[in-house]
A and B are shown apart, each in its own frame.
Chain A
Amino acid sequence: MKRAKQILFVFLIAIIVIQFLQPARNQSGQAVQSDISNTYSIPDSVHTLLGNACFDCHSNNTNYPWYSNIQPMGWLIERDIKNGKAKLNFSELGSLSSRRQVSKLQGVENRIKDGTMPLSSYQFMHPSARLTEEERQVLVDWIQKAQDTIASQR
């Protein structure tokens, strides 16, 4: 019994200590020149969908949920953001060559079509990220238009 108490005590201390280890926030607060909204024209409907489903992990501005302040949840979120931005960052898409922009957008289209994005864990916590068939189609149509625009500028 005494042993169990000790373990619990250590555990509690650890939980309290890790609360002080807040990862830096992914919030630049400004739209840079290379931001996707400065690169192509995005209808409001598309921008809303991207914001609901993508930007939290694929841009420089995350809209953090309240539980991100509680560790280790914050760390898990941080990991998703880090991985997400490494693959694709809508805030800096415009800084890539047009060849790579087309490639990246093709990747987005493929992930939307096969349903692997947004992540199911993200959808679980964010109801607005659960895209309907129509919403997926809206995004796919927009991507194809954007790709044509970029390709025609080459």
Chain B
Amino acid sequence: MKRLAVALAVTVIFLLGSNEVILAQHEHHEVKSTDKDDSAPKHQGKNETAVVKKNDDTTKTSPKVNAKVAASIKEIVGSYLQLKNALVNDKTNESATAGAALETTFKKFDKKELAPQQKKVYEDVEDDAREHAEHIAANAGKIEHQREHFDMLSKDIYDLVKTFGSPQLLYKDFCPMYNDNKGAIWLSEKKEIRNPYYGKKMLTCGSVKEEIK
């Protein structure tokens, strides 16, 4: 009788273990199907970004957003710059914290305040940027991995401020060496170069490409 009980217990434990596998898989399928549903509008958003960008190149950014949106953008840029400065200083834990803050800011952004066209652009950027912020937050201790995501994140934030207007004077800087000499951009609040991709190793390497007001 005792033996049977033990056998049963072991079986139950294994059952639980396998259930976890199966359940987790189901969850995963659900996530994917929502991804698919979103895809169509996102693609349209892409084209609009291109159009908006073309206009902005000549006119500087002309924000036609309401105060609440402007405040959220300001918060996003603030977290981004915090992250940038943490990477400049080779501080991986601070980078993770700033990444988490950035993710939170994106999460609580009130999209109802956006006009339909703006919403498409915003969602396109947010979708990508949030993933990078999440990875940066989750990879404390792996600063090179954080920098990889920072590279892609910087392009997103650049498109964001070009579309919605920048809350402050920003410099678009360029590091020609990163990515095996493919190069990478970043945004800075200071005119002097402080390179977030290599930190101390190459602190002043790079050049200002554009001023964003």
Q: Which A residues have a C-beta under 8 Å from some C-beta of B?
A: 6, 9-11, 13-14, 17-18, 21, 23-24, 34, 71, 75, 78-79, 82, 85-86, 89, 92, 95-100, 102-103, 106-107, 110, 113, 144, 154
Whether A85 contacts B28 by the Cβ 8 Å rule is yes
Select the residue from A24, A103, A106, A113 with max chain B CB neighbours within 10 A: A103
Cross-chain pair count, CB within 8 angstroms: 92
Further pairs besides A10-B10, A97-B42, A99-B124: 20, Cβ < 8 Å: A13-B10, A14-B14, A17-B15, A18-B14, A21-B14, A23-B18, A24-B25, A34-B39, A86-B28, A92-B32, A95-B35, A96-B35, A96-B39, A99-B128, A100-B128, A103-B128, A103-B152, A154-B46, A154-B47, A154-B50
Shortest distance between the CB of B52 and any CB in chain A (Å): 12
CA gap between A96 and B37 in the complex, in Å: 10
Top 8 closest pairs, chain A to chain B, by CB: A21-B18, A97-B42, A95-B39, A14-B10, A99-B128, A18-B14, A103-B152, A10-B7
A residues near B182, Cβ cutoff 8 Å: 144
User: Given the complex, which residues of A lie within 8 Å of B35, measured CB to CB?
Assistant: 92, 95-96
Whether B15 contacts A21 by the Cβ 8 Å rule is yes
A17 to chain B, nearest CB (A): 5
List residues of chain B with CB under 8 Å of any chain A CB: 3, 6-7, 10-11, 14-15, 17-18, 21-22, 24-25, 28, 31-32, 35-36, 39, 42-43, 45-47, 49-50, 124-125, 127-128, 131-132, 148, 151-152, 156, 180, 182
**Sample (16) of A-B pairs whose CB atoms are under 8 Å apart:** A6-B6, A10-B10, A13-B11, A23-B18, A24-B22, A82-B21, A86-B31, A89-B32, A95-B35, A96-B42, A97-B43, A97-B127, A100-B131, A103-B128, A103-B132, A106-B151
A75 to B22 Cα, complex, angstroms: 9
- CB distance A82 to B124 under 8 Å? no
Q: Are B43 and A98 in contact (CB under 8 A)?
A: yes
State the main secondary structure of chain B at its contact with A.
Answer: helix
By a CB distance below 8 angstroms, the chain B residues around A78 are 21, 25
Q: How far is the CB of B143 from the nearest CB of chain A, in Å?
A: 13
* Residues of chain B within 8 A of A92, CB atoms compared: 32, 35-36
Contacts of A11 in B (CB 8 A): 10
CA distance A99 to B128 in the complex (A): 7
C-alpha spacing A10/B11, complex, angstroms: 9
Tell me whether A17 and B21 are in contact in the complex, defined as CB-CB below 8 angstroms, given that A92-B36, A97-B124, A154-B50 are known contacts.
no
CB neighbours (8 Å) of A23 from chain B are 18, 21-22, 25
Contact, CB under 8 Å: A14 / B25 = no
Contact assessment for A110 and B7 in the assembled complex, using a CB-CB cutoff below 8 Å? no
**Residue numbers in B under 8 Å from A75 (CB-CB):** 17-18, 21
In the complex, A34 Cα to B35 Cα: how many Å? 11
Does B148 lie within 8 Å of A97, measured CB to CB? no
CA distance A75 to B23 in the complex (A): 12
B residues near A24, Cβ cutoff 8 Å? 22, 25
